[in-house]
């Protein structure tokens, strides 16, 4: 059973979160959805604090599965725990850091940081947070979030298929643990060539504190500003400490995969996904190029196979370690220089289709039905589109005016 647990300091809101998820209709034989009581939460947080204290003194903490967070598959925590503020210094980001660093919890989600039904027009997420991503309470019942088929509607493209993303987290953590033991670089684990890594803009590479192409995951955890806090990190590199890397590999996996999704992929000029790729090179669509339905067939997240896309030509440029990212993606520079692609060979023959990809719908629509905005990118591909659904909180609004 995959445990999904929700917590808010207001009981009625915790029950609301649980109800929203239950309405999705997840299989009851696979998912166990429950509420964490305030007493259980405080006890679990005290346990994490003791683990942290023990770790700082001795460099280890006991991995005994005794903490409530240890076997949670997906954890959802309300951002504003106001009722706990007076007596406890608990904020959502503090909780996310402690749970990620000192438990074996799976995916961590902040709820209502940006509203009940938000859409981030920057597309960059919040890399400073140790939560894996943000959702609003009204979005928990959205079928597309859970990898189920949906009708035409609100379905942000930057969302992952949540159950698959959570399952793949274990694979990512295992990759990191093996890489640390075998002294394999972050670049190699992610599947970046030396050249591709060197192409990373400084503002993106600074997440690691260095653009060194052979940087290791343990170096990242200790020496960047994106891993462990200073006093937690300094113990890791001590010769006196026998570190259990199966624990801290989870932290590194979570942080680096979030960077890949929200810093790298959102640029669409380092890695590029299928809908953005065919928007530039329509010749990669196998058939029915003049049919918008054929374009929408390839807007998939939950599978490695992209329907109606000629992936044979671009296969050499695919990000090979597929479980590190939430959708199929290719290295843009390789695709751009591939003369086997008709649109690369004869760019003067490219014809605009009359429709555009909408980031809030994960689908193509006619351009005159959509609204343009500027994502917060440093790439030339900042111009994006939304379908502009009612009752969605698009923020920040100035991205429409740029």
For 71-95, the pLDDT digits (tens) are 999 999 999 886 675 556 677 888 9
Structure tokens at 74: 């997906």
What is the residue extent of each domain of the chain? 2-150, 167-264, 271-400
Give the residue ranges of the chain where pLDDT is below 50: none
- For residues 88 and 42, the answer to whether their CB atoms sit within 8 Å is yes
CA distance 259 to 201: 13
- Give the pLDDT score at 91: 78
Token pair recorded at residue 289: 């190029």
Distances (CA, A) of 80 to 106, 114, 378: 21, 11, 32
Using alpha carbons, select from 384, 359, 357 the residue that is nearest to residue 295. Answer: 357
Phi, psi of 312 (to 5 degrees): -60, -40
| Residue 357: its H or E element | strand 355-358
The closest of 75, 145, 69 to 110, measured between CA atoms, is 75
CATH of domain 2-150: 3.40.50.2300
Q: Give Cα separations from 347 to 76, 148, 294, 342 (angstroms).
A: 47, 37, 22, 8
Can you give the pLDDT at residue 150? 65
Residue ranges of the alpha helices (H) in 59-91? Answer: 82-85
Whole-model pTM? 0.94
- For residues 188 and 194, give the distance between their C-alpha atoms in angstroms, rounded to a whole number: 9
Q: Note the pLDDT of residue 63.
A: 66
Render the burial of 382-391: b for 16+ CB within 10 Å, e for the rest: bebbbbbeee
Q: How far is CA 292 from CA 154, 251, 355, in A?
A: 18, 41, 8
Tell me, what's the pLDDT at 242? 65
CA dihedral 114, 322, 202, 276 (to 10 degrees): -70
Phi-psi region of 74 (alpha: psi -120 to 50; beta: other; left: phi over 0): beta
Per-residue model confidence (pLDDT) at position 9: 87
Q: Are 171 and 178 in contact (CB under 8 A)?
A: no
Give residue 360's pLDDT. Answer: 97
């Amino acid at each position: 059973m995959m445990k999904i647990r929700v917590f808010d300091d207001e009981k009625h809101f915790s029950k609301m979160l649980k109800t929203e998820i239950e309405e999705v209709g997840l299989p009851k034989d696979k998912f166990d959805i429950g509420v964490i009581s305030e007493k259980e939460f405080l006890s679990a947080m005290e346990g994490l604090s003791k683990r942290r204290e023990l770790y700082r003194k001795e460099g280890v903490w006991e991995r005994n599965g005794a903490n409530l967070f240890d076997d949670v598959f997906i954890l959802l925590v309300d951002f504003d725990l106001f009722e706990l503020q007076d007596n406890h210094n608990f904020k959502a980001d503090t909780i996310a850091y402690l749970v990620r660093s000192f438990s074996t919890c799976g995916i961590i989600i902040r709820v209502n940081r940006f509203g009940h039904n938000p859409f981030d027009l920057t597309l960059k997420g919040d890399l400073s947070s140790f939560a894996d991503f943000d959702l609003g309470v009204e979005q928990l019942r959205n079928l597309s979030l859970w990898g189920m088929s949906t009708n035409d509607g609100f379905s942000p493209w930057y969302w992952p298929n949540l159950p698959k993303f959570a399952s793949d987290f274990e694979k990512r953590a295992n990759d990191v643990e093996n890489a640390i033991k075998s002294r394999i670089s972050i670049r190699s684990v992610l599947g970046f060539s030396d050249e591709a890594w060197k192409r990373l803009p400084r503002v993106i590479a600074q997440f690691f504190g260095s653009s060194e192409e052979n940087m290791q995951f343990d170096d990242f955890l200790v020496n960047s500003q994106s891993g462990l806090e200073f006093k937690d990190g300094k113990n890791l590199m001590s010769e006196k400490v026998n570190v259990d890397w199966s624990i801290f590999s989870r932290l590194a996996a979570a942080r680096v995969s979030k960077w890949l999704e929200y810093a790298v992929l959102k640029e669409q000029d380092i890695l590029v996904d299928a809908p953005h790729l065919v928007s530039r090179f329509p010749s990669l669509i196998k058939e029915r190029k003049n049919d918008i339905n054929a374009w929408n067939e390839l807007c998939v997240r939950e599978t490695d196979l992209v329907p109606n896309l000629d992936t044979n030509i671009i296969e050499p440029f695919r990000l090979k370690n597929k479980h590190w990212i939430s959708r199929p993606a290719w290295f843009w520079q390789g695709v751009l220089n591939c003369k086997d692609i008709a649109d690369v060979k004869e760019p003067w023959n490219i014809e605009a289709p009359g429709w555009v990809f909408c980031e809030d719908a994960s689908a193509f629509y006619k351009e005159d039905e959509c609204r343009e905005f500027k994502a917060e990118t440093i790439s030339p591909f900042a111009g994006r589109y939304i379908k502009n659904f009612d009752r969605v909180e698009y923020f920040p609004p100035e991205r429409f005016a740029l």
